Structure 1
């Protein structure tokens, strides 16, 4: 509430009627809060005047006709409460807010009295009538006197809670109120006679007043750990008593003190009981928490003599006492004591009668001001120019720091003597002065060599010299602790936590070092860093001013000698270098050129010639403008310029008979002196070999691109040639299947039926293999078209849900054979009936995802695949947020109009799952999850790459989420347009079948026991069936390890029984998971050599890899024969016969 709202309430109070008493209660509470919390309320006495007026105006209404005479102040409004009201107020002091405090207390007491008076009148109407009659018999003056005395008694009761008043004043009050008490007793007796009360109404008033006063005011204290500690303090053990009995002025000052953000505390009563807030607790350090509730004498015995006199002075003079610039130790985190400075003030607190109650102590932190002033004095003293005739600069630096023990608790000053050598400058250090360390001391050597010494400070000296600025010693290093020991620390007599090493440089050379400990009670903040920098710069300035002319002249001689030597070296280097170097005057006169320059240009022009040097004699005409423009730009803009040019001189590249011009790199820099350009300096570098290599690389790149183009054309042709015969194959297989279906209806002979079943199964197998071959060809063709940007979309109306159902139906049989649950789910977001899109491309993506899920779900304990179709107006949809989308660099697409929508499809499986590394490379071309994926599950590695490209082509993206062992979720979304249904219906999927090969004769010469090792289930099933049809016994193993395990069960294995299987031959596939055919063959031959197998087993390796070097690898592994795929069963048996013969 602000002052304007308070003024509005004050003006409304006198006009309130008895019907507004509850409103009056609330308004008075608001005013009490405002006057106690406002920083500076306008005219505080207006509040007291208003409640006085409220007493008179409302008492007349409350007592009906009881008191017809009102107080003179009954018609006083806030506007009428002028200075006259203040003149009649009790005597009060007005120092540092004391007037506001006393006014708040007076307002609080009068408000409480009014509330008691109203309750008493409203709760007992009969007593009010009787009291009115009695008061009329006594007269208005008696009633007024009783009210006044009752109020004075309550004031006296509050003052007694604060501190014992003077005896004379108490006797005066008792004498003054004697008659009033008699009148009150008469009233009470009448009340007892009328109402039959056992206790006087005055006692009841006191009880109500006590309850009102003893309300739990501590609930208004803000909650904090410190404030809770204050509340829990045993105040009943002090002269203040329990907190609920504290007088209102103490309550108010306590709330004010706790709300003060500065360090503040109260010293209350004659005992000076201490009460303080949380910021003061940090300053109190070890005195906290014992100081809370203790007397000032007990809490601060060391400073009590001074505080006693000061507090008594404040009490006697009723004037605040200022304590400027006093130091306090502030306890920070990790036990760090920080130097802090404050301006403090002790303000007196008096009640409404001007009686002294206690002191309010608050402080303002001025640490930064004190430190900046101290730092400035230190720098000013150090920067004063000393008398170098009687005092060295090092001694001046030490003396400047003597007075400032806190900021410089330790100081070492070393001078450096540098002696130039042939290899480097040799530096020796000499101790020139110290503070806190008196030689002889282990850390303060009088002399030591900077480069070779193992002194604890030597690494820091070398580091600061190399860096050229101050460095701090590492406090975590054990040498730091060793260095700090044995030092007589100045100032706080505490070791510094920061020690800085400052290099002092003069004319760019090291002149010495300063080792200084920093203030242990100040953090290494920006101010302290700036002090270190100021000291460093000031010391450098002092040392620079002390360098003698003789030293400078000696150094000049040394530098001149070195410069001459370096110039001689540079001239020799210019002669032997492989770069042409030259300089031109502003008028293009050649002022210098090394021999290589003339060799490269085949020039004979002498330097210092008056003839203008012209590049047109040496540079090809096509590049002449470039070198001329480069020289002009260098002189005009004063910038470095480089340009590649061709010379008229030619050369022959390696392995070439074609003559080519020489390439050179011309680099030019301006020669500037005193801001004026004196010419240009240039160099010519032979880059002929580099340019030739770049051209060669360019030609190779173009050749590779051309080769890639030819490869893609070859892939297109290959796909075309593979797809053409597949059409006839599929048609033949379909015709076979149709013929068998018709024959099955017409004939019922059992043998014929079995033949039909066999032929039907073979036809379906042919159809499946043909479809797989077509898929590979289609993938190759799609990749080729995608790389050439030739793949186009063909949009048509379709039902996306129907497309998904077709794909699920397509894989139903395969899933059932693998005992995999394959289901379709329509998501709740799906809102598409008909859509315009390329259904074939959507179907192609979904087929790839479902076929991958089938591969990885077979053989799992839980086998379930779910296809989910949905739709969304945003991409990616929220229900697919867990997927990791590809390509990652693309932003999500947006819809361009209301007719568009995103079609979403997900495939969730319970397969083996993928790791993070496998997911990162899954969508690359020809890439699979791992190196074992192809051998275990098959595939070309093109499916997901094509799916990603197709999804992106249709305005969408593809993504996945997976965890190893927990399955995977693949999903994609594409942009489609909503469409109306057409009369055209979706064509049914064409059943794929193949023609049958010529039936092979069943008769064979001899029945054989054959071990077929083949990982492809279909190939193994077909070949074993055909071999059995020829009368042979066939045993199947799906990889090399399983074949080795089977051999241990045959009669050829050591320890086998006579009834074991007797093998005649092993048909071994090359490419297999777990253990391939080559390694398996090697292990079989090793077992034969070791005697684990009793005889030599014939082995025939089969493979589609039939290059001569691959066949050689197979024979080297120990195979007896090699048979390339594809082959017929007749070829297999013929190979076995040849091997046996």
Structure 2
């Protein structure tokens, strides 16, 4: 959909109708906003975009601006609209199967659920409904996925007695799944702690895992046959070699100990089988997988999933076909060949087997091995005790040796398990009922920063943030009653990383999730407390980051509103003075004209008054232009369109020429100006360098303008401009002030093609430091904090006393940054201020052409419009005598045509006029340049507007150059071509380049003064002269 024209906008506004641009902002338009604009709403209940009500448009704009995933249900059928953050929730239904559809078509599976019932509740009562962690199913990663979300349904009154609904939501899938998995691990640990022996271990394992229908869709458990265990290792202490272990696996017998989620008499699941049969029934690499000792992923996709299980492998939680399973050997110790069983567990078909899932499986695998090891250790001890009892009557010494050996091995086994827990990635702890730390692994100490060895009851309270002690008291009381707990709290340890997001360092308070359960005595009293911690500091920081960004956006909006108010005031305020001065001039001249006679006279006071009125008008016009220029420059900076063009220039002379523009203003304000070239400049022998003189002079003129404004009313009125140079970045001592540091993550826009030459050699690079010191009113510390910021001035009354938009110093800072420099200020209230900046430049040879030598003057003329001059500009013009010539003014605006003709005639030109390009071409054909001869009209130069009806200036210029090329026009009077100067209000560089490409000799931008126009006309005449 195309953006509507201005006429369509006005019509829509007056008629109360909507256009596409009413959705989203008028600036950057995201793909989703464009999708909303282009959607075929006419085919929905909402109707065409043009018929949308203001209430609907406001709610859609609120929806688009909301950073949360949010939907909007509107109309009788509850047509669904949603923002860009909602797309991941929509999944592959976006956009065709969801956007713009009624609720029962967009979400058919939730009809009749509490989510759907919330609509009727909101419609009947007007109250919102909220639920936490509701289960939904979405397809957003190529498979049907379970998703949990906390949502709200907020009723909104709409037109026609209908009720609309706003639906913000937050995804909580990771939290819910993590809680479910942790609950499974805790439940498994509790059940396994009740196992009496190895046989009971497998029963307790099934009991602990069968409640998790999602992560345990089906389960098979095979244990090594008891005959194998006895024949393999009757003493339980030998450690076979890898080759022996592989041979042992191949000869082992496995017995089915139990299954979950599969038919009881499944024909494809034998009750007993050896390793060779397991290779054929389950996985070809079965023996190697057992020897490796780590879980192996079996998948239908790669053919490793047991084909015999495919018909029966259904999810208990969802009924879906399981496409993946895990083969997990149960190895209680690190001894080769000590595989006591294996399990085959299905993978949740509605969750991806990602890092979190793998970590859960690893913890499950480790818990099974650890628990079985403990049981086997007990059995081993019992078996050893029986052997020792049988041998006690025969050899007491041998029994003592065996007991000693047994104790040593038990200690080693315990040490191995302790090391395993020490290196676990999740912080784990074990307390007694008094809160004494009995055990904590390395991850726990690292996260909490608890002193090692400094343990006493509840000593770990010292690592908890003081504000969360009441919360910890409540949760500790629950543990004292034997209840499991799961809660969030803060630690005293600061959260610090080396990462940056959006220019902000990721750091703050450490947040954790604590999960703990109790081991109770037979009487029900708490004996031990065990649990684990999860670091969620980054997630909490991200939530705070979003909140801060929202507050910053609101503050920026407030600053922009203040800026628009101030700019509107500053732009409109001079209009009153312009109107009054124009009325005064008209009234005075009317009074003089009413006097009898052709020769009228007036007193000197009248002429001085009119000159003062004209001076006021010029000052006000320059003030308005300065504000417009600042806004345009800011717009280019924000859009990245401001280019830096490096040319050859002599900095000392460029600064001197810029200061000459202030002579009249300094004289009028009675301010003395000193220009000092520091010895460092001469010591480095700086002559010609490459930089952008227009941008450097723009910053200098901004500083100097402010210095004059803030100094002219002081008793001492002195300004000193100093130019320094250095090879290195100017130091604080050399500059005499501190520079403002810019955000290192901000990347400046690219410069023009000559930019790479600027900083290509460290030896040729120099730093130019320019400072402006004044004896003005100075600044306080609070006022200095606001300098160089967007839409900010030193104080709220600054623009009332001195004017300005609050953008000058901000723009100056950006211009300096684009040239590899920095900006700074030093000031004392009541004593004056020093503003300084430095830029990078590169030494270069002197330019070869005279045109290049005048680049400094051209650059300074581009910023000269920032200077307000006084006096009649025509007085300065008439002081220099130019060669009289015939000039054709081509201008469609009759007022501008008449004013320019009179002013040029006063300057000595013989002026003819044309209303558009076609009339100008006819005039040229009747001029002395026409080859056909007979032309009587004199013509030396053309001043032509670009934008005109019938034929614009660019087309006319092309015709003139084509006529010259074809010989229809022949150069006369010592010129190589008819000189044409373009006049345009388009100040952009590419638009001026288009005028030159069309055949214009030069371009003058509106508004301009005669003191600027006439020298440009004479320069163009000289350039086309055959003598030159």
Higher Cα Rg, which structure: 1
TM-score scaled to structure 1, two decimals?
0.29
